Structure 1
Amino acid sequence: MNAIQETNFQFPGQTGFYRGKVRDVYSFPDKLVMIASDRISAFDVVLPRPIPFKGQVLNQTAEHFLRATSDIVPNWLLDVPDPNASVGLKCEPYAVEMVVRGYLAGHAWREYRAGRRILCGVALPEGLRENDRLPTPIITPSTKAHEGHDEDISREEILERGIVQERDYVQLEKYALALFARGTEMAAKQGLILVDTKYEFGNLDGKVYLIDEVHTPDSSRYFYADTYAQKQQAGESQKQLSKEFVREWLIANGFQGKTGQTVPVMSDEWVNQISKRYIELFETVTGQSFQPDLSTDPLVRIENNILGILNKM
């Protein structure tokens, strides 16, 4: 299978290029082309081997939820010309990620377990266990780093430092919580629990837009609803759909993205297992059957499809 490690196109009218952890972003005067590669990152480090079909899963999952939430907040998406590519409006990103948590899991749990009861300025109650539902969904923002680690930050610090103006930040909070509520409803219909997720927003002509991906396995964590209560009562690990299992594997093999640590070797079997888990998430969370693109040369396919849509715009 031809996993996509990276792209290096030069399109007519292109004004810039940025390679993120997972996406390759091509800029035009008023539009962006985002190509979801098969790269996978954890602890803000890009792992050495790409995961077949991961980019297609991300791109098509994001499309599914962007279209399903466009009545809540306008979003950047204009067209999806290729399984791995989306074209949309070029917005000025806000320099924060709006992380919404409904349960005490992942990073929040690791902080709580370490004895911290204030997360991003939000007070957490005593006596919680891993994966317990929080009294109400909370927003725990993080800075958006182009390189290195995103960092936790409080609402107060965001406003104090002028990272986002208060009027806009209030709007981001409202949108984030409304999106989380819609995501929770959609997940429940598929027998899932939306545990936590992150949203990114941008501004265009004074208007807030939802940008980037939404409710994908890279940005979200899901539990299976039918076994949640039983496993929680028994103190067992939750069966989940997210890339947390990749983080757990890395931790078990001595890697957390810290200086001096080396990424463990990823076997073919492990890479294929990750691929299957991503496909499982797509089918479970969207209720759709995944149709893998088996192009012999996906880079040629992507380039031709993008050129085709650009010629129409």
Structure 2
Amino acid sequence: MELLHSGKVRDVYADGDDILLVASDRISIYDVVLPTAIPDKGKILTQLSLWWFDRLADVVPNHIISATDVPAEWAGRAVRCERLEMVMVECIARGYLAGSGLKAYEKDGAVSGVALPDGLIEGSRLPEPVFTPTTKVAPGEGHDESITYADVETSVGADVAAELRRITLEVYRRGSEIAADRGIIIADTKIELGFAGGSLKLGDELLTPDSSRFWAADEWQPGGAQRYLDKQFLRDWSSSLTDWDRTAPGPEIPDAVVEATRNRYVEVYERLTGDRWR
């Protein structure tokens, strides 16, 4: 097998016509990979993505070929998948105001060109989910930047742009309904789409603590930070550091923070799937 790419979290190998996507225990914040791993993270991301891919297969097809036809040393954390011609747009759906969406709203009253009502605060539920795309920048080449729907149309054409928006919002809607039944709010999520055989398919991961903001529904209270069940917990920890400027190399993560981060990944997996993490 040939190593094609080593990303912040996943390593991509070519195996004939297929791709092997191997999730590591690495964790990144602000586009910086931290030197401390989170035990079981790669397996949790992979298994949770597979769970979601199965439940949303009628919304949009995905790139998965097999979760078992992989080398034994990567069992549980790797998938065999189709090669996709990735669309160079990060497709983001937001149902609640948080993170960069909150910052954009506080500055402009809009996110990615989508005007929002006055008076919203951190954690507010939006009147309806919105499509807020960004650029897709290769690792080490800067940060993704917010763009408008018109920018997406210019980049990929009106028909593809409409499909990107439709799929993103439907994935968010369906995912949110499933999560709500399990006591979890999906505040926002990012998906990646690419072409195979002329059709758009989901790639990478789906509705994981790395790609989504998960909140405990029974503790949701607009007006401040929520109890995060995702890697926002780690971002909040890093904000307390006075000697890190969010550039590489990142800081070592203390054992207690590693454990608390892992516990959140395990909790969201167990609450969503109903299965105990082994």
TM-score normalised according to structure 2 size: 0.91
Q: Report Cα offsets for 1:52-98 as digits up to 9, x if no partner.
A: 10001100010000111111111101111221101111110000111
- Residue 225 of structure 2: aligned partner: 237
Residue from 253, 257, 261 that aligns with 1:266: 253
Residue from 174, 194, 200 that aligns with 1:202: 194
Q: What pairs with 1:1-313 in structure 2 (closer than 5 Å)?
A: 11=1, 14=2, 16-81=3-68, 82-113=75-106, 115-147=107-139, 148-160=142-154, 162=155, 164-228=156-220, 231-232=221-222, 235-254=223-242, 258=246, 263-291=250-278
Q: Report Cα offsets for 1:123-163 as digits up to 9, x if no partner.
A: 12211110000011001101111123122111112222x2x
SS at match of 2:257: helix
Superposed displacement of residue 275, structure 1: 1.6
Q: CA RMSD in A?
A: 1.8
Write the distance in 1 (CA, Å) between the matches of 2:89 and 2:244: 23
Q: Which runs of 5+ in 2 are unaligned?
A: 69-74
Larger CA Rg, structure 1 vs 2: 1
Write the distance in 2 (CA, Å) between the matches of 1:29 and 1:165: 32
Write the distance in 2 (CA, Å) between the matches of 1:203 and 1:92: 5
Write the distance in 2 (CA, Å) between the matches of 1:256 and 1:138: 33
Answer whether contact 1:45 1:257 (CA < 8 A) is retained.
no
Q: Report Cα offsets for 1:189-229 as digits up to 9, x if no partner.
A: 1111111001110001211111111110000111222232x
SS at match of 2:58: coil
Write the distance in 2 (CA, Å) between the matches of 1:94 and 1:136: 25
Write the distance in 2 (CA, Å) between the matches of 1:23 and 1:262: 19
Write the distance in 2 (CA, Å) between the matches of 1:255 and 1:281: 31
Q: 1:33 to 1:262 in 2, by over 3 A?
A: closer
Write the distance in 1 (CA, Å) between the matches of 2:114 and 2:87: 21
Superposed displacement of residue 111, structure 1: 2.6
Write the distance in 2 (CA, Å) between the matches of 1:116 and 1:194: 24
Superposed displacement of residue 17, structure 1: 1.2
Answer whether contact 1:222 1:240 (CA < 8 A) is retained.
yes
TM-score normalised according to structure 1 size: 0.82
Percent of residue pairs identical: 39
Q: Which runs of 5+ in 1 are unaligned?
A: 1-10, 292-313
Answer whether contact 1:44 1:257 (CA < 8 A) is retained.
no
Superposed displacement of residue 102, structure 1: 0.1
SS at match of 1:252: coil
Q: Report Cα offsets for 1:11-55 as digits up to 9, x if no partner.
A: 2xx4x5101110001124532100000000111111111111000
Q: 1:200 to 1:49 in 2, by over 3 A?
A: same
SS at match of 2:267: helix
- Residue 294 of structure 1: aligned partner: none
SS at match of 1:241: coil
Report the count of equivalent residues: 270
Write the distance in 2 (CA, Å) between the matches of 1:219 and 1:287: 20
SS at match of 1:102: strand
Answer whether contact 1:202 1:210 (CA < 8 A) is retained.
yes
Which stretch shifts more, 116-125 or 166-175? 116-125
